[in-house]
Amino acid sequence: MPRRGPLLQARARWLLLGLLLVLLLTLFLYLLECSPAGDAGAALPGFAGDPYSREHFQTLLQEQEERHLSRVSSLKRQIAQLKQELQEMGDKLKTLQEKKDPGGRAHVETHDQEPSDLLEFLHGQIEKAEVSTGARLPSEYALVAFESFTTTKVYQLEMGLTRHPEEKPVRKDRRDELAEVIEAGLDVINNPEEDDGPEDEDVPVQRQMYSESDFVEGLYRTERDKGSLYELFYSKEGTSSFHHVTLFRPFGPLMKVRSTAVDLTNTAINIIVPLSGRTEAFSQFLHNFREVCIQHDKRVHLTVVYFGQKGLQEVKSSLEKVSRLESFSNYTLIPVDEEFSRGRGLNIGAHAWGNSDVLMFFCDVDIYFSPEFLNTCRLNTSPGRRVFYPVVFSLYNPAIVYGNLELSPSIEHQLVHKKDAGFWRDFGFGMTCQYRSDFLSIGGFDLEVKGWGVEDVHLYRKYLRSEFVVVRTPVSGLFHLWHEKLCADELTPEQYRMCIQSKAMNEASHSHLGMLVFRDEIEQHLRKQAYKVQSKPDELARPNE
C-alpha cells in the first residue's frame, strides 16, 4: 500500500507530459495549416526573416472570405432566377403538350429536355441582340445606343429636363447591377475556360489575377424584347493589353458570351481631318494632337486634306513646326484645289493610305479628345465585324455659359460633363472609328453630296443595313468645342434644316436659352424690386417729419 502513492504520481506525470505533447503537436499542425502557400525555403509567417505579420495574412484571408461570400450570394441569385425560368418554361411546355394531345396520351417530358429548350431560347435571344453580327435596321432611329460607364460614373444619352449627361453618384439600383456585372466579368477572366482565348494567336493569355481596380470602362444597353448586353474592358496599369468580356442578361441570369485578350500595342490610328480655312481652330487642334498623340500615345498618323489655297501655307507651316519640335514625321498634308466637301475629303484621306489596312478616325478640326479615347476607339472596332460611332459631348457657347465672369476659363477647364456646359450630340454621326477595308467594302461616302451634314448619315445608314455591329455610345473623352455656325444658302432644304437645328442646340442649355428669351421680363422685375426697396425708407421717414 505505501508504494501505491508514488506509482500514481508517476502515472499522473506521464499523463500530463503526454497531454502537453498532444497540445504542442496540435499547435504545430495549426501553424502549418494557417500558413500561406509560398516557396519551399520561405520562412513561416511570424518568424524572423518574414516581412509579413500574422495580422497581414488574417486581413488577406478576411478579404478573400468576403469576396467568396459575395460571389456565392451572386450565384445563389442567379440559380434562383434560373430555376424560375426553368419552371416557367416547363409550364409552357406542359401547356403545349396538353393542346397537342387533348386525349390524355401526352407523355411527361424528362428534366433533360427542359434545360435544352431553355438554353435554345436564351441563345436565340443572344443572336437577336446583335452580339456577334449586326441586325439590318431600317434607319438611324432604330438603333438602341449604348451607355458607357466606369466604377463611379455613367454617361447617359437620355437626359430630358431632369437627368444629367454624367450620372454621379450612380443611383443604388443601377450601381448594384453594374457592380454585379463587373464582378461577373472578373470571374470570367480569373477562371478562364478552354474556349476563352485571344483574338490573335500571337497574344498570350494573361494568367495573373484581375481585380475591380483593373476595370477600365464598360458599355451596356437594354432592348425591351431581348435583354441587356454588356461589353467590359479590363487592363493592368501601364500595359497595352486588354481583356474584353461580353456578357448578356436575357431577362434572367447573366450569361457569358465570350472572353478575349486584346493587344493594342501595334494598332495605329490614322486620324483624317478635312479642312478649309479655320487656321486658328487648326492651331488649337494641333496643340491637342501634340499633347495626346505625339507625347503620350505615339501610335497615330495624321492626314489633313485641305481644300483651296487660302490658309494652305499657314497650315503647312504649323505642321512643319510641330514636326521639328517633336521629331514627328507621321503626317500627310493633301492639298485639293476644289470646293470644300467633307465626304470628299475623308474619301481622299482613306484612299491616300495605300493598299494596307488601318484603323481610321474621321475627325473634325473642332474636336478635342483624350488619350483614353484613342484606346476606346481601338477596343470598339474590329475589321469585318464592328464599327464605332461615338456620341460627342458638345460644349455650349462659352460667352453664354460663363457670361457672369470677366473672362471665360481655358478650354481645358471647360471640358466638364454638366447640363449647363453642353449636351450629348446624339444627332451627329461625323466622328467615327472604322477600318479602311470596311469603309471601302461598304462603298464609302456618297460623293454626290456637297457641303454639310447628310453624307455622314448616308454612311451610317449603310452600316445599319449591313451585318456590321454598330457600337453607338456617349464617350467621356471626346468633346466638340463651340464655334459659330454659318448655314450657307446653297445648301439643300434638308441640309439647311439640319444645320439650323444644330446651330440652335449648340448655343446654350434649355435654362440658359429661357433666361435669354425672358431677359426683358427679368430686367423689368429687377427694376420694380429696386424701386420698392428705395421707396420703403421714404415711407418710414414720413411719420417722423
Specify the length of the chain in residues: 545
* Residue 238 falls inside a structural domain: yes
Read off the CATH number of the domain in which 388 is found.
3.90.550.10
Looking at the fold, whether 385 and 363 belong to one and the same domain comes out as yes
Looking at the fold, whether 401 and 319 belong to one and the same domain comes out as yes
Question: pLDDT value at position 542?
Answer: 61
Domain holding 166, by residue range, is 125-190+211-263
The pTM (predicted TM-score) of the whole model is: 0.64
Helix orientation angle between 342-351 and 454-464, rounded to the nearest 10 degrees:
60
* Residue 392 falls inside a structural domain: yes
Cite the beta strand spans of 89-211 per DSSP E. Answer: 147-149, 154-155, 166-167
Looking at the fold, whether 254 and 304 belong to one and the same domain comes out as no
* Residue 21 falls inside a structural domain: no
135-144, 148-157, 279-288, range with the lowest pLDDT? 135-144
Looking at the fold, whether 255 and 338 belong to one and the same domain comes out as no
pLDDT classification of 45: cutoffs 50, 70, 90: very low
Looking at the fold, whether 281 and 328 belong to one and the same domain comes out as yes
Mean pLDDT, range 516-522, rounded to an integer? 79
Mean pLDDT, range 464-474, rounded to an integer? 93
- Helices (DSSP H) in 308-434: which residue ranges? 312-326, 342-351, 371-379, 398-401, 411-414
Q: Higher-confidence residue: 248 or 232? A: 232
Q: Higher-confidence residue: 318 or 99? A: 318
Which residue among 441, 460, 483 closes a domain? 483
Mean pLDDT, range 177-186, rounded to an integer? 93
Question: pLDDT value at position 107?
Answer: 43
Residue among 256, 257, 258, 260 nearest 243 (CA): 260
Percent of the chain topping pLDDT 90: 40
Question: pLDDT value at position 197?
Answer: 56
pLDDT classification of 528: cutoffs 50, 70, 90: confident
For all residues of the chain together, what is the average pLDDT? 80
Looking at the fold, whether 278 and 255 belong to one and the same domain comes out as no
* Residue 340 falls inside a structural domain: yes
Q: Are 70 and 183 in contact (CB under 8 A)?
A: yes
Looking at the fold, whether 298 and 336 belong to one and the same domain comes out as yes
Residue 169: all three cell numbers together:
453618384
Q: Are 174 and 502 in contact (CB under 8 A)?
A: no
Mean pLDDT, range 116-137, rounded to an integer? 68
* Residue 462 falls inside a structural domain: yes
Which residue among 462, 483, 504 closes a domain? 483
d(CA 511, CA 491): 31
* Residue 399 falls inside a structural domain: yes
Q: Per residue in 265-299, pLDDT tens?
A: 999 999 999 999 999 999 999 999 999 999 999 99
Helix orientation angle between 519-541 and 510-517, rounded to the nearest 10 degrees:
60
Looking at the fold, whether 280 and 406 belong to one and the same domain comes out as yes
Give the count of domains, the chain: 2
DSSP string, 212-258: GGGEEEEEEEEETTTEEEEEEEE--TT-SEEEEEEEEESSSS-EEEE
d(CA 29, CA 44): 13
* Residue type for position 373: F
Looking at the fold, whether 253 and 273 belong to one and the same domain comes out as no
- A 10 A CB-CB count for 49 gives 7
Question: pLDDT value at position 109?
Answer: 41
> Can you state the percent helix, strand and coil of the chain, rounding each to 5?
45, 20, 35
Looking at the fold, whether 341 and 382 belong to one and the same domain comes out as yes
- A 10 A CB-CB count for 388 gives 23
Beta-bridge partners for 360: 270, 434
pLDDT at 102 over 60: no
Residue 358 φ/ψ, nearest 5 degrees: -160, 150
pLDDT at 113 over 60: no
69-73, 119-123, 328-332, 349-353, range with the lowest pLDDT? 119-123
Mean pLDDT, range 76-100, rounded to an integer? 66
Looking at the fold, whether 287 and 306 belong to one and the same domain comes out as yes
Q: Per residue in 160-173, pLDDT tens?
A: 656 788 888 778 88
Q: Per residue in 349-402, pLDDT tens?
A: 999 998 789 999 999 999 999 999 999 999 999 999 999 999 999 999 988 888
Instruction: Output the CA–CA distances (angstroms, integers) from residue 449 to 22, 270, 446, 459, 489, in the order listed.
Output: 91, 24, 6, 11, 15
Which residue among 428, 452, 483 closes a domain? 483
Looking at the fold, whether 225 and 301 belong to one and the same domain comes out as no
Residue with cell 503626317: 331
